[in-house]
Amino acid sequence: MEPILDEMSLVPCPSWTPAMRILELARVLQALDNLGARRVLLSVRDAADRDILNGLGLQTLCFHPSTDRDSGLLLASRLSKQPFIDGKSGLFAAHEGVGAIEALVQGKFAFGAGLAALTDGFCVALASASKTNGGSVTVNLTYLDEDSERNSGIEVPSFVTENDIELQRLALMERIERAVADGRALIERVGEMFPRLRFGSKALDQLSVLTGNEPVFRQLLRHLRLLNSGAETWLPGTGFEPDGITYSVESRPTLNDGTLGPMRDFPVPAGFEAKRWSLHTKLTGGAGARLYFRAEQAETGGLVLIGYFGDHLPTVRYRT
């Protein structure tokens, strides 16, 4: 799920300085990064150069002395990056197919909000005196083809401030997770979505073959998210207790069993000590999948290692 820049917000504002507007938009992008959104900013081709102050565009003003350096660098690094929304080879045209689609907001054509409406996405926008916080934008879509014309109105979420993101935190996380279609997509996104998790080779192999249609797939994403959140707030010297998720410890007889114990010797992520895995969450539905994990404190903070995701392994109580 990629943030989409609402190009209709790229206009001059006499009461908000460009530095203030850039700082607020950078905070929005950083907040979305922290939720696991893709670290890109989809925009129209000329977004970086549209006049927002005396003929100057964002690309120039991001490096103005009055602009916060980190905020300017963050926003500038994401502007003018393909794929663009507009143009014959743009993302909007790709969704039109052989027909044509007109996307209007308050009577004006809107590429960014239109793409968000077509993809169940969301927009981010520059703050201004007339738009000090987010909400929703009504996009009127008209579909035209050889035989018919049909219309629909779609409400698109629009985020202007960091507080807007916090107010919609859970809904945004659900949107971001819905965009992960299968195991391959999950592996491509783990660094963005779950920066506090580290995966062993067996776990990566098991995740890569998931189709996304498994009864436990969405539940798996939730477990990974909660383990990641637990690692973010885990204080050194305290026990690891992620909120909102229950887990079990493998029994000592099972771990010490000559046959069953080694079945828990999963590969560890690079740079970590090999140990027999014990902690695991239990996913309901299907064959009763298990997610084996281990919490570690590193110089950068808490981490959670993932060693196995798959069917319930046999124990001394339930041998197969």
The closest of 52, 32, 308, 55 to 160, measured between CA atoms, is 32
210: confidence class by pLDDT, cuts 50, 70, 90: very high
**b/e for 148-178, b at 16 or more Cβ within 10 A?**
eeeeeebebbbbbbbebbeebeeebbebbbe
Output the CA–CA distances (angstroms, integers) from residue 306 to 9, 236, 279, in the order listed.
42, 20, 10
With bands split at pLDDT 50, 70 and 90, how would you rate the model's confidence at 98? low
Residues 155-189 pLDDT 10s: 999 999 999 999 999 889 888 888 899 999 999 99
Q: Using CA atoms, how far apart are residues 237 and 124, in angstroms rounded to an integer?
A: 39
Average pLDDT, the chain: 92
Exposed, middle or buried by CB within 10 Å (0-12, 13-18, 19+), for 318?
Answer: exposed
Residue 318: the pLDDT is: 65
DSSP β-bridge partners for residue 248: 280
Cα(116)–Cα(123) distance, integer angstroms: 7
The pLDDT tens digits for 52-75 are 999 999 999 999 999 999 999 999
Q: What is the mean pLDDT of residues 281-299?
A: 87
* pLDDT bucket at 293, cuts 50 / 70 / 90: very high
Q: Please, are residues 153 and 140 in contact by the beta-carbon 8 Å criterion?
A: yes
Is it the case that residue 285 has pLDDT exceeding 90? Answer: no
Strand partners, 286: none
Region 6-33: what's the mean pLDDT? Answer: 96
Q: How confident is the model at residue 32 (pLDDT cuts 50, 70, 90)?
A: very high
Please tell me the distance from the alpha carbon of residue 190 to that of residue 32, in angstroms, as a whole number: 15
Beta bridge partners, 141, equal: 103, 152
Exposure string over 33-47, b if 16+ CB within 10 A, otherwise e: eebbbbbbbbbbeeb
CA distances from 120 to 98, 138, 160, 211, 218 (A): 21, 13, 18, 21, 18
Q: What percent of the chain has pLDDT over 90?
A: 78
Quote the radius of gyration of the chain (alpha carbons, Å): 24
Q: What's the CA gap between 72 and 80, in Å, rounded?
A: 14
pTM for this one? 0.83
pLDDT over threshold 80, residue 252: yes
pLDDT band at 238 (very low <50, low <70, confident <90, very high): very high
For residue 294, give the nearest of 266, 259, 253, 256 by alpha carbon. Answer: 266
